[in-house]
Chain A
Amino acid sequence: MGLSLLGTRTFHRVREKTHRRFIPPAWAVSLLVIFASWESFSVLRLVSPERLPPFHEVLFTLAQLGATPLFLARVGQSFLNVVIGISLAMVVVMPLALLVGSRNQLDQALTPIIMLVGALPDLAILSLLVTVVGRGNVVAIAICTFSAFFPIYFTIRQGVKEIPTDYFHVSSIFKANGAQTFTKVVLPSIFPNMVTGLRLSFEFSWNVLMAVEIIASVAGVGTFISSSLEGPGRSLAYGLAAIMTVGLLTIAADRLFFERLESRIRKWRA
């Protein structure tokens, strides 16, 4: 037993050493290849710049946009709408999913209906919302909540169902009260599912939000993209740069927030 312990330790040490040598991540290499071929397409005039502006131009526009307060405000507004939408969904869904996950009868009564509602197309719901709620941030937040609802609901419900009964036995044997059982057994058990649910709903919400902004003309990145791609003064570079901003934002949220949560889970999960 002492031997195997020693084994794991040396293993960790070896891994630490290999980490110190810098190896560019594989995704960076592929990204570099993609951008380089994009640039060469435009430079070699294989595609006209009106159809595909050269990469360096888009990059330049991106930098320009990064220094434009109005654009940043738009991005911030969209981001805020997504975050508020997901938070609202979380507040509503969490108790519901916990209840449904722990009571089979309630699950059988509610889940089919929730699946039915979830199958309705987001954009159809949007037109309905616009007539009922009107335009503006409220409708943007509402649609984000709607699209975040289902991934959060199903992942948490599944998480609750998968908690081994013995964990609850442990909790009652040591006389933990209801609140302690919730914070020390239920929450940590469903935490990985919660992260997955949040991650999915973040993606879903962004997708649908872009459409909402364009259709319901709610000020945000979406409207910026559509206005820069339409009309007489249209600029492909601006549109592409704005789209890339959304991508960068999603990646940043993924790396800085979700990846950190997941690495915490990976520490204890096999």
Chain B
Amino acid sequence: MHVDLSNVSKVYPDPPEVVTALSNISFQVNEGEFLCIVGPSGCGKSTLLRMIAGLDQPTSGEIRFKGDLVTAPHEKISMVFQSFALLPWRTVLGNVEFGLEVQGCPKDERVSTSLDLLEMVGLKGSENLFPRQLSGGMKQRVGIARALAIDPEVVLMDEAFSAIDEFTAEALRAEVAEIHAQTQKTFLLVTHNLPEAIELADRILVLSARPGKVKSIVPVEIKKPRKPTTDDFVSIHRDIFALLQSELENTIMRRRLSELKELQGLRDIEAR
């Protein structure tokens, strides 16, 4: 197994209340697979990704990458951020180089690698621009090139297309699918955009509302490129949407219930 999670839980013991963000998450990711993680907001899907990245530690359970326990960022696991997280004082090239630079790669080697990647993401000729001169879509292209520069085996994407306008995001998704097909790297994408997940994923992991649990793992066996209008696409969308909706209803019911209880409590006080 490439990435292996067993019984991973994350509990925030911050007073006044203990919050269980994730509870007993177990799943495996195969090498070269594109796995999307979807779930209602606040279900801890970004936390999950951060833990796989080694940026955060699970409260209990184990995360393994190629058999080794992940306790800190691994040199073969890279990440793309929702906020792009480009260093604004570095040029496009300087940002892409960052990983290789801190790992001590010689200058000309890292420049040529970075330029190749920039060409791959369609930013040839923009290497000397600063991030402020780029559109959101271009920024994320730089983010993707930066993530690929260290030649990772796993690319983690945290809501990578959420801060970009839909038209650009659509084009970028197609390019990411292309990059995945070419490089055969393992991709993990956290998203709340269901069509996005269906478009890209080999399998979709559906998380339940807080505390996040694995609700279902849905394989997507539609030939790429996938069009959201085909019957297969629509039917998978309907199935997962139903799953998520029942989750949503559960949350709403739970909230209503707690509101009712509170109301009852108030009435009791009034009655006294």
Chain A residues close to B by CB (< 8 Å): 1, 4-5, 8, 164, 166-167, 169-177, 180, 184-185, 188, 191, 267-270
Contact = CB atoms under 8 A, between A and B. Distances in A.
B265 interface: no
B73 A164 contact: no
Interface string B103-122: 10000000000000000001
Contact of B79 (A164, A167, A169, A267): A169
Nearest to B126: A5
Contacts of A171: 102
A169 B122 contact: no
A1 B53 CA distance: 31
Interface of B: 50, 53-55, 72-73, 75, 77-79, 81, 83, 85, 87-90, 98-99, 101-103, 122, 125-126, 129-133, 135, 137-138, 150
A270 B132 contact: yes
A176 B87 contact: no
A174 B98 contact: yes
A1 B125 CA distance: 12
A164 B83 CA distance: 10
B87 A167 contact: yes
A267 B122 contact: no
B138 A191 contact: no
Contacts of B79: 169, 173
Contact of B85 (A1, A170, A188): A170
A174 B55 contact: no
A174 B122 contact: no
B133 to A, nearest CB: 6
Contacts of A167: 85, 87
Given A164-B83, A164-B85, A169-B55, A1 B137 contact: yes
B126 A173 contact: no
Contact of A268 (B50, B101, B130): B130
B269 to A, nearest CB: 37
Given A5-B125, A166-B81, A173 B53 contact: yes
A106 B98 CA distance: 31
Nearest to B156: A173
B55 A268 contact: no
Nearest to B53: A173
Given A5-B126, A166-B81, A270-B132, A173 B73 contact: yes
A270 B101 CA distance: 25
A15 to B, nearest CB: 14
Contacts of B133: 8
Given A1-B135, A172-B72, A268-B131, 14 more contacts: A1-B138, A4-B135, A166-B81, A166-B83, A167-B87, A169-B55, A170-B85, A172-B54, A174-B98, A191-B89, A267-B130, A268-B90, A269-B132, A270-B88
A117 to B, nearest CB: 33
Contacts of A176: 102
